[in-house]
């Protein structure tokens, strides 16, 4: 890993792992559908109550029970299934090494010969999970994932650096009111 570039930014280098993607997908799904986690908990509780009641009464309806179990199972594995299908479809390009830079102009990521540049006005906010940094775009629901291990130096310094850049953009040049 490269050393931080001080006040000029950070140089990044990484290969994406399945665990990184899973962390980002789970965070994004639960963030987007806040009720999903409550729905999953409620369905697990209902499934447990249904199971207890069928054992206690001795009446087990096979058709209704199977349908209910399938719905609970699908909701429980939805984030993992979405992550797995994305990984399977994109694994070769994700496993190639990626490089990037976070500097005064924004975020640059290079992967497999292609390069993407996001200015600070295009980045809405920085979110943190256990394993990755998520740069959420300002005018869309898309995000850019950078594993934490790609960032040299303490996480707090990186978060402060990015936060200061985003705050500077918010204080004047993002494009006026109502753009966030």
Quote the domain boundaries for residue 38: 24-92
Q: Looking at the structure, tell me whether residues 101 and 165 fall in a common domain.
A: yes
- Residue 161, pLDDT score: 94
The phi, psi pair for 126, rounded to 5°, reads: -110, 130
DSSP codes, 19-75:
HHHHHHHHHHHHHH-HHHHHHHHHHHHHHHHHHHHHHHH----HHHHHHHHHHHHHH
Q: Looking at the structure, tell me whether residues 67 and 109 fall in a common domain.
A: no
Q: Looking at the structure, tell me whether residues 123 and 69 fall in a common domain.
A: no
Q: Please tell me the total count of domains within the chain.
A: 2
Burial class (CB in 10 A: 0-12, 13-18, 19+), 131: middle
What's 119's domain CATH number? 2.30.29.30
Is the per-residue pLDDT at 5 higher than 60?
Answer: no
DSSP codes, 64-117:
HHHHHHHHHHHHHHHHHHHHHHHHHHHHHHHHS-EEEEEETTEEEEEETTEEEE
Each residue's pLDDT tens digit, 21-48 = 888 877 766 555 555 667 667 777 777 7
Q: Looking at the structure, tell me whether residues 158 and 114 fall in a common domain.
A: yes
Q: Looking at the structure, tell me whether residues 50 and 33 fall in a common domain.
A: yes
> Which of 22, 1, 5 has the alpha carbon at shortest distance from 157?
5
List residues bridging with 115 in a β-sheet: 110
Among 71, 92, 113, identify where a domain stops: 92
Q: Looking at the structure, tell me whether residues 34 and 11 fall in a common domain.
A: no
Is the per-residue pLDDT at 178 higher than 60?
Answer: no
């Amino acid at each position: 890993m490269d050393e931080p570039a001080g006040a000029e930014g950070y140089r990044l280098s990484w290969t994406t792992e399945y665990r990184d993607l899973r962390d980002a997908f789970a965070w994004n799904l639960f963030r987007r559908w806040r009720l999903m986690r409550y729905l999953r908990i409620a369905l697990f509780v209902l499934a447990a109550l249904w199971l207890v009641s069928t054992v206690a009464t001795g009446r087990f309806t096979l058709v209704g029970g199977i349908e209910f179990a399938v719905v609970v199972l699908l909701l429980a594995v939805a984030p993992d299934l979405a992550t797995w299908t994305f990984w399977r479809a994109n694994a070769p390009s994700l496993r190639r090494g990626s490089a990037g830079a976070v500097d005064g102009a924004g975020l640059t990521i290079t992967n497999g010969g292609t390069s993407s540049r996001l200015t600070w006005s295009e980045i809405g906010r920085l979110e943190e999970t256990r394993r990755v940094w998520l740069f959420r775009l300002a005018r869309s629901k898309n995000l850019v994932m950078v594993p934490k291990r790609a960032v040299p130096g303490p996480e707090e310094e990186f978060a402060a650096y990015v936060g200061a850049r985003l705050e500077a953009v918010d204080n004047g040049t993002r494009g006026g009111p109502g753009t966030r």
